[in-house]
Amino acid sequence: MRLSVIGCGYLGAVHAAAMVSIGHEVVGVDVDARKIESLSAGEAPFFEPELQALLTEGIVSGRLRFTTDMAQAHGATVHFIGVGTPQQKDGYAADLTYVNAAVDALIPHLSPGDIVAGKSTVPVGTAATLAERVTPTGATLVWNPEFLREGFAVKDTIDPDRLVAGVPAGPDGERAADLLREVYHPSVTKGTPFIVTDYATAELVKVAANAFLATKISFINAMAEIAEVTGADVTTLADAIGHDARIGRRFLGAGIGFGGGCLPKDIRAFAARAEELGRGESVTFLREMDAINMRRRDRAVDLVVQSLGGSVFKKNVTVLGAAFKPHSDDIRDSPALDVAVRLHGLGAWVTVTDPEAIDNARNRHPQLNYVEDRDEALRGADAVIVVTEWDEYRRQLSPEHAASLVTGRVIIDGRNCLDATAWRAAGWEYRGMGRP
């Protein structure tokens, strides 16, 4: 099937390459000429495992191409909208500027029978509004939210754990759902749940899922705050309650909190939309979750300061990690960089290292010192803080080796990903998040 993908950022580029890998012909469209030039050369403009290989294969096969010309989308059967919905600069609500612009630019190139499939995360009610503009062309709007995990986005696109299609009532909606089943035929054939629903439910599925995950993370971080004043160990606590099948252990990792381009903005936008709908009281807990998340960053900075005698002024602090999570170079709302910048503001000489995110971090925060080599970054440090749980730090760095490089044996485990016993046995002052 011939597809178009409008918006070739993180979501769109992955979706385009993945759709080609399962047999479709795809044209990706974006207004950013530099991005299109990079993608057309088969070069991923960001780091995502497996994406580079898929792009190269797709370009070489001739079934994947990229352009800035929206007219090239004409003739596709399904048009995916994958542009960003950032937080508004003057509030918490989602900025729909790019979604509206993408749909408006696409409308002149639609044909009767086409499907416009929204994948962007949007406030509930957006699809119904967009449908009013799409339907007069003879095309049908569906809402097909993405559920990608950065670092696993290719796998999550090719082999998702569920597919959701929000469609209008009637024959047009049934036909649209059938076409989406064809698009995702490998997953549908293997029995992946394919849930057909209305627009509003499809929009809510995405934001509700993100809100629930953020709730689990914030809950265990709230427990970490209690553990810190009682002497309890939040890691053991999480293990114990995680054995309850109704709760589960995943996403119960206490630390410096969540970041990235999805969870923070999505829970804020969800709360803002609930208030617009007159039901703000239903999600007031989202505001407290946001506050808990930010407090954990404060706590990480406090631990460094305390461990260095009450001041980091002119002290050498090495920050292990810059991306908001491992297997990514994404620094959007990164807790790791936030902590690094705060320490710098307190007068520390901050050295940041990361396997993939240094260039992005340097462009955003040039005031910090960046070193690509982990061991070189550790050399001469008075204190070290782990803020992104790359294997290079949590599994491949021994406390004995690290001790041979640093000046002061102070380690702050911002992700509770290290073996506290081993680090203490090697002579380190180990401080975790919510751990004695």
Residue type, 188: V
Residue 280: in which H helix or E strand, if any? none
> Is 8 noted as a catalytic residue in this protein?
no
Q: Which residue is associated with the tokens 């909190």?
A: 257
Angle at the Cα of 414 (from 413 to 420), degrees rounded to 5? 20
- CA distance readout (Å), 386 to 145, 414, 415, 420: 33, 5, 7, 13
Q: Which residue is associated with the tokens 């294969």?
A: 57
Q: Which residue is associated with the tokens 């993939």?
A: 356
Catalytic residue among 262, 263, 322, 397: 262
> Quick check: 379 and 405 in contact, CB under 8 A?
yes
Length of the chain: 436
d(CA 127, CA 134): 10
Radius of gyration of the chain (CA): 23
Residue 414: in which H helix or E strand, if any? none
d(CA 220, CA 256): 11
- DSSP per residue over 151-208, as a string? TSHHHHHHS-S-EEEE--SSHHHHHHHHHHHHHTHHHHHTT--EEEE-HHHHHHHHHH
The residues that are catalytic are 262
